[in-house]
């Protein structure tokens, strides 16, 4: 049997080599470079890949320079203007890919909506990578691949906090194998700025999908290289995301030192947005240990910093958390007003993910205040949005809140049903709400 498999393998390799040798030199080069894609790819990605070294370096430079939100790029549109990814397919690449499809070396994957995608069978892809290496092109192809996907992740980042979230999540999910391959390559090559920037840009995507469960391991792999990294926006935001992921897995105390580290880097780098986020998180920790003076001081310093950078969605999230905390302290009117403002701002921003978090926080605040009807109304809206987003952990949060509403009404059978449903929905994992709550 082993001999039969070896013979079949040799026959397959001879067939691939024969097909490759029939291509002209331009087609051979295109085939080799397309083999760098993991899973499927778009014509736009193929065009960027083959645009040459100057274009690759331009993509990487842009990706490392653009930060959202920031004074330079306060919104998604400003990020897109800076990104300048290829928006047209070069005719030669289109014709070359079409030729490879016609010769059965590349497979076309029609999409129900939008442009078709393309893929190489794994055996053909492996052969193409061998030829890339033989021609001394592998490193250049991998760098070009990483440059394109860095820029894609950077462009997508702000759209994950607004009304176009679903469309961008779908696009990133189509590309997730390539995005992760680009990140793995940057880590393996120890290209620390690129790895940190790409990991930070993907963090919001990971936490909106099932990949959130592997986020901590991926970030820790980057952190192992980042100890001596100089202060920068990439570094401050990376360590803040690492702190969030650590908090979600191991609790707030385990993340405190990472928030402090991100705080120090943010001050040194002048990253006011991340500085504000760190102050919010450290203020939340102070609140939980009863140090209310430090909590209020942190919040007061943080608020203008985030707004200066254009971080309105974070401002709205923190406003909701702060409102609930004020209600916990008995400052009912002040806390309720903040919760209402946070809710209105998220509706205005169109950030459904953030709206879920604020609805959950406001529902808890209403329950603390004894307004059971309002708590139920908010939790029910949270559940409906979470179900539309297909976000299990947010669904579990809403089910938990509705279960507590049922307990407040002494409806114990309904409470038991809802709380069991919450456990079944997201049993292996802590909720995202616990991870982002300040």
The pLDDT value given to residue 430: 44
Q: Is the pTM of this model over 0.85?
A: yes
Mean pLDDT computed over 32-41? 97
Poorest-pLDDT segment among 7-16, 20-29, 312-321, 360-369 = 7-16
Q: Angle at Cα 379 formed by Cα 376 and Cα 385, nearest 5°?
A: 140
Mean pLDDT computed over 278-287? 94
Residue 434, pLDDT above cutoff 70: no
- Chain mean position to CA 252: 21
Distances (CA, A) of 326 to 30, 117, 188, 359, 414: 61, 51, 47, 16, 30
d(CA 65, CA 60): 9
Mean pLDDT computed over 253-280? 95
Distances (CA, A) of 3 to 217, 231, 394: 41, 57, 54
CA atoms within 13 A on the CB side of 365: 30
pLDDT tens digits, 42-87: 999 999 999 999 999 999 999 999 999 988 898 899 999 999 877 6
Torsion sign, CA atoms 255, 261, 266, 269: negative
d(CA 340, CA 366): 11
- 188 preceded by cis ω (within 30°)? no
Residue 432, pLDDT above cutoff 50: no
Compute φ and ψ for 384, nearest 5 degrees: -65, -40
In our burial notation (b when 16+ CB lie closer than 10 A, e otherwise), range 291-304 reads eeeebeebbeebbe
Residue 313, pLDDT above cutoff 90: no
pLDDT, the chain, mean: 90
pLDDT-based confidence at residue 35 (cuts at 50, 70, 90):
very high
Residue 299 token pair: 């919040």
pLDDT tens digits, 335-348: 899 999 999 988 99
The pLDDT value given to residue 135: 97
Torsion sign, CA atoms 417, 418, 424, 428: negative
The rounded percent of the chain whose pLDDT value lies above 70 is 95
pLDDT tens digits, 174-217: 999 999 999 999 999 999 999 999 999 999 999 888 888 789 99
């Amino acid at each position: 049997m082993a001999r039969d498999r070896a013979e079949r393998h040799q026959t397959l390799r001879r067939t691939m080599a024969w097909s490759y040798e029939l291509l002209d030199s331009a087609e051979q080069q295109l085939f080799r470079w397309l083999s760098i894609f993991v899973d499927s790819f778009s014509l736009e990605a193929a065009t960027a890949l083959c645009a040459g070294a100057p274009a690759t370096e331009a993509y990487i430079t842009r990706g490392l320079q653009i930060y959202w939100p920031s004074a330079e790029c306060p919104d998604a549109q400003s990020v897109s203007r800076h990104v300048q990814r290829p928006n047209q397919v070069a005719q030669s690449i289109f014709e070359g890919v079409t030729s490879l499809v016609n010769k059965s070396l590349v497979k076309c994957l029609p999409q129900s909506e939008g442009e078709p995608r393309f893929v190489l069978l794994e055996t053909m892809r492996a052969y193409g990578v061998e030829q890339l290496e033989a021609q001394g092109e592998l490193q250049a192809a991998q760098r070009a691949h990483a440059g394109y996907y860095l820029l894609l992740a950077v462009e997508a980042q702000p759209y994950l906090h607004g009304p176009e979230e679903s469309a961008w999540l779908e696009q990133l999910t189509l590309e997730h194998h390539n995005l992760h391959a680009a990140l793995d390559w940057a880590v393996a090559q120890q290209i620390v700025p690129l790895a940190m920037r790409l990991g930070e840009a993907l963090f919001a995507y990971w936490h909106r999908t099932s990949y959130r469960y592997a986020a901590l391991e991926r970030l820790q792999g980057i952190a192992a290289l980042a100890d001596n990294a100089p202060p920068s926006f990439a570094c401050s935001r990376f360590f803040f995301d690492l702190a969030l992921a650590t908090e979600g897995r191991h609790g707030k105390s385990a993340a405190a030192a990472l928030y402090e580290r991100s705080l120090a880097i943010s001050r040194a780098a002048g990253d006011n947005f991340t500085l504000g986020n760190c102050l919010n998180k450290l203020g939340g920790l102070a609140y939980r240990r009863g140090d209310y003076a430090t909590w209020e001081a942190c919040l007061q310093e943080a608020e203008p910093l985030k707004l200066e950078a254009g971080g309105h969605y974070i401002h709205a999230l923190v406003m909701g958390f702060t409102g609930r905390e004020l209600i916990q302290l008995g400052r009912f009117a002040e806390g309720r007003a903040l919760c209402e403002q946070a809710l209105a701002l998220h509706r205005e921003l169109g950030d459904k993910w953030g709206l879920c978090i604020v609805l959950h926080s406001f529902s808890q605040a209403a329950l603390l205040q004894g307004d059971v009807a309002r708590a139920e109304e908010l939790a029910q809206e949270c559940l409906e949005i979470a179900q539309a987003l297909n976000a299990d952990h947010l669904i579990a949060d809403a089910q938990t809140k509705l279960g507590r509403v049922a307990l407040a009404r002494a409806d114990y059978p309904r409470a038991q049903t809802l709380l069991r449903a919450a456990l079944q929905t997201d049993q292996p994992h802590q909720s995202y709400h616990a991870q982002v709550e300040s």
